[in-house]
Amino acid sequence: MPDHGRRQIADDSAAGASRNRPLTPPLVLGTANRKKGIELTELLTPLGLEVLTLADCPRAISVAEDGETFAANAALKAALQARHLGQWVLADDSGLCVDALDGRPGVYSARYAGAETTDAENNLRLLEELGQTPPERRTAHYVCHVTLADPSGAIRAEAEEYCHGRILSEYRGTGGFGYDPLFEIVEYHRTFGELSRAVKACLSHRARALRKLLPAIARLARSS
């Protein structure tokens, strides 16, 4: 993975008046996924901000995730939703990249088996595509790009991080969501489906990306 993909892009990148706009609560998480909302809310706890999800916002819109990269999709979800709601929005786009599948499912992770599919159906397609691929060639990594937009829709901070592991040939554990029961952290000999939420909050791609972003969010909140 190239080094430039790991760097945090500087915050306060918006031009004009939005550059000095402070972060005023509530902070809206650009997701209606309950489990992802819980993960993000817990990671933001140290900042003491009031946090909502799209499920708490009746006026929230559906944003098409038609970008070609995780960064593009995160920017769409944050900026368009923020401008529509007139509130600060923190959105992420994340997914699984499998080396033996040339990086698939990638940005299509949530809809790998089709537009309206379940986690179980996506996992089944992944297992079918990998077939009898041996363990040493089932390496993979999760990606998370997280983006913060102010009420004008200007991007104020963003970060990207990764978590490396491999894909098992059978499910283990019932925790987490998405591909977690198949994604093994090799050093722990456990899948994300088996690890506790506390451990996942230390290791996951989403946790790493958000921790990288916390100082920028804190600075913006302190400026209010």
Catalytic positions are 93
Cα separation, 58 vs 21, whole angstroms:
25
Contact 155, 78 (CB under 8 A): yes
- Phi and psi torsions of 90, nearest 5°: -110, 115
Cα separation, 109 vs 183, whole angstroms:
13
Cα separation, 3 vs 220, whole angstroms:
27
Give the ranges where the chain is alpha helix by DSSP (H): 34-44, 70-85, 119-130, 197-203, 205-222
Copy the structure tokens of residue 211: 């921790």
